Each structure stands twice: as structure tokens, then as C-alpha cells.
Amino acid sequence: MRIAIDASRTTVSRITGTERYALELLRAILRQNTRHDLTLYFREPPSRDLFPDGATLTTIAMRRLWTHLRFAAELWRTRPDLTFVPAHTLPFVFPGRAVVTVHDLGYRYFPQAHPRGQRLYLDLTTRYSAARAACIFADSAATARDLSRFYGTPREKIRVIYPGVDAPVIGDIAQVRAKYHLPERYWLYIGTLQPRKNIRVIVEGYRRWRAAHPDDGSALVLAGGRGWLYDPAWTAGVDGVIETGYIDEADKGALYAGARALLFPSLYEGFGFPVLEAFHCGTPVICSDSSSLPEVGGTFADYIPLPPALLDNDPSVDLIAVFAAMADALAAAMERLSDESYLPSAREGRKAWAARYTWAEAARSALAVFDELD
């Protein structure tokens, strides 16, 4: 079968979760594929070592509306048997069958966390893609449920294919601490600083924990760039908070490995890469019991409750009380973490759980769907 693949996300300069998914899944598919004729399409020329073999690489340059105009035109010209897009957006008009990955529907739960134009575009393209595709890959059972809830997508049309999570390379922890001016002991958050990640609860939970441990000296490290609707008030007046800004990918392993725990009480996650990356490093995780996080964390994460009404945007919810309760729960979870959490058996358990999520397994599942559609 001739399969056209949108590989445009794989050549961006700064890789986030969606770009990493596209790059690693396509690499794994190319390593395993023995049956299908694959053509990868790019917006800009890929480096020679990005995809060394296993597919035809085609660059079709266009600055704007690449998916809906340039990629779509190429699909009309070549008429592949199947089109695969490893992100939410299929071209609006194109021939033949398609498979698309939907990573999350967080914009439906927290519309205020997205610029209006972006939110409307995500809703339009995801609704269309879910209806148009022959099969949808969902990153988690939580995302699969959301597709059925918000867009009425039949469950039999969805395949839950968990992304792989590679173990971060753990470099020189002391050297990385020095690079980002960090103390020896710290709590860690990694990700974009934006409302959906619940940064104000992380900071407030840390402030309450620190008040109970004034002589401990552990910092709170917020490792990531400032995102949409970042609010300086989140950290104002709280001692011990360090913002590193965007961090180098090569430094992540050392940051995880050197942390007391990863604090990740996100309001919504389609998958939650940082949880498993921390587990790979043996690092404890405190996260919310929201969306996909209980799937990803299993019995190895420490959970704090997220009131369901918060996800439903219930106007009667007292947000001040809700966030205060979450901050109390986070501080209590930080208190529960003791030296016992760092015993070799606990560390090895986390590592073994994270090792279950591989790109090889994700590629096997994706290729099985392609075979079904052949």
C-alpha cells in the first residue's frame, strides 16, 4: 500500500510533545515496515540523518496553509492509498482514506487557556479530522473518551496507541545544577509555564511546604519557557522559586535525577511525558488524578485530587477554594515523600513501569492498523 505521511512537524527547531511524537513514531515505523511504500512530506528540507532510509523523502515548500493547500495538492496529484497525519489536522479536501493522531482535547476543558483563534481552529480541525479519518490514534484512553464525548466519535474507530518515552540521558548532575544556578536540593516542574499546567498551585503548594520547613533550603525549579497567559503573580513574593527558562534537551535527565520529586498537578494532559521521563530517572512524581495521568502514573505516582467540576467549567465552583485545597494536597504529598521514596526497590519499580512505553510497540500498533486498512 502507498502511504503518504505528513512529516512536517519533525523539522521544527524546538521540539515539544507533538513534534517528538511525530519524529520518534515515524522513525520506529520506518525501522519496522517491510510491506508498505512510504513517502514522507516536509515543509522544509530535513537533515540527512533525520530519516536515513526506509522511505521516500519529499519537500514541498510553502510558508502558510501548507497542510490545506500544498500538502493537499500533492495528495490529489499522487493519489496515495492512505494518508497518515501524526497530529490533529487533516487537509480539508483530499482524496482517499486517512489515519490521524489526536493527542488531547484540553482546549475543550480549558478554552480560556488558548488564544481564541487557536482554540477555534483546533476545534474545527479536530472535529473534521475525527469525522473524516478511517481510524484515529489516541494517545490515551482519556483522549479516546473525550473524542466520543465531544465529537461523538464511535469507539470502534479509535485505537489507543501510547507514545514511547525514551529514558533521558543522565549527565553530570552537579554540572547541570551549576549551569542553571540551582541548589543541591530542589523540587522540579518541567514544561511550559501556562495556566493549564497549574503553576500557581505548584508555587502555592511549595510555599506552604516551605513554611513548615523553613530550614530545609530546597528550591522550587520551574524549568520551561513562559507560555500563553503566564502570570507573574504566580511566583510573586515566594522565596526559593527559580525559573530557568527554556532548557536544553540534553540537560533534562540530570534535572530529573537531581530532583526530590517532579511536581506535575496539571489540570489536563493527553498523555504526560514528564511523568514517565521522571520515572525513567527513578524520580518520584506528584501529579493530579486528572485525564490521562492515572493511566500514565499507575500505582507509582502520588496523586492529588482535581475536582471534576473544575473540568466542566462549572461557574458555581469557588476557584479560590479549589486551588487552595489543591495547594494543601500538594504540600501534604510533598510532606509524605521521605527517604523511603528513594529506596532502590521504589526507584527500580518506577523505571520498570516507564520502560513499558516504547516507540517500537507504538510503531507495531500503528503498522497493524495500516495492515488492516490495506
Residue 327 has pLDDT above 90, yes or no: yes
| 43-95 pLDDT per residue, tens | 999 988 899 888 999 999 887 889 999 999 999 999 999 999 998 899 999 99
Tell me the residue type at 99.
V
Residue 342 has pLDDT above 70, yes or no: no
CA 302/CA 318 separation, integer angstroms: 25
Taking the C-alpha atoms of residue 363 and residue 267, their distance in angstroms, rounded to an integer, is: 29
Q: Which domains does the chain have, with CATH numbers?
A: 2-164+358-373 (3.40.50.2000), 173-354 (3.40.50.2000)
What is the rounded distance in angstroms from the CA atom of residue 326 to the CA atom of residue 74? Answer: 50
Please tell me the predicted confidence (pLDDT) of residue 203.
97
Residues in CB range of 178: below 8 A, 6 or more apart: none
More confident residue, 289 or 115: 289
How far is it, in rounded angstroms, from Cα 88 to Cα 4? 16
Cα 246 from Cα 93, distance rounded (Å)? 37
Q: Within 13 Å, how many C-alpha atoms sit on residue 328's CB side? A: 6
- CB atoms under 10 Å from CB of 26, counted, come to 26
For residues 186 and 218, the answer to whether their CB atoms sit within 8 Å is yes
Structure pTM? 0.91
Using one digit for the tens of pLDDT, what is the confidence trace for 144-162?
A: 999 999 999 999 999 999 9
Question: Higher confidence at residue 353 or residue 320?
Answer: 353
Of the ranges 25-34, 49-58, 179-188, 256-265, which one carries the lowest mean pLDDT score? 49-58
Model confidence band, residue 252 (pLDDT cutoffs 50, 70, 90): very high
In terms of C-beta density within 10 A (0-12 exposed, 13-18 middle, 19 or more buried), how is residue 348 classed?
exposed
Q: What confidence score (pLDDT) does residue 339 get?
A: 63
Single-letter residue type at 337? L
Print the SS3 string covering the chain.
CEEEEECHHHHCCCCCHHHHHHHHHHHHHHHHCCCCEEEEEECCCCCCCCCCCCCEEEECCCCCCHHHHHHHHHHHHHCCCEEEECCCCCCCCCCCEEEEEECCCHHHHCHHHCCHHHHHHHHHHHHHHHHHCCEEEECCHHHHHHHHHHHCCCHHHEEECCCCCCCCCCCCHHHHHHHCCCCCCEEEEECCECHHHCHHHHHHHHHHHHHHCCCCCCEEEEEECECCCCCHHHCCCCCCEEEEECCCHHHHHHHHHHCCCEEECCCCCCCCHHHHHHHHCCCCEEEECCCCHHHHHCCCCEEECCCHHHHCCCCCCCHHHHHHHHHHHHHHHHHHCCHHHHCHHHHHHHHHHHCCCCHHHHHHHHHHHHHHHC
pLDDT, tens only, 100-135: 999 999 889 888 777 888 889 999 999 999 999 999
Whether residue 306 is predicted with pLDDT greater than 90 in this model: the reply is no
Q: Supply the pLDDT for residue 110.
A: 82
Cα–Cα distance, 205 to 208 (Å, whole number):
5
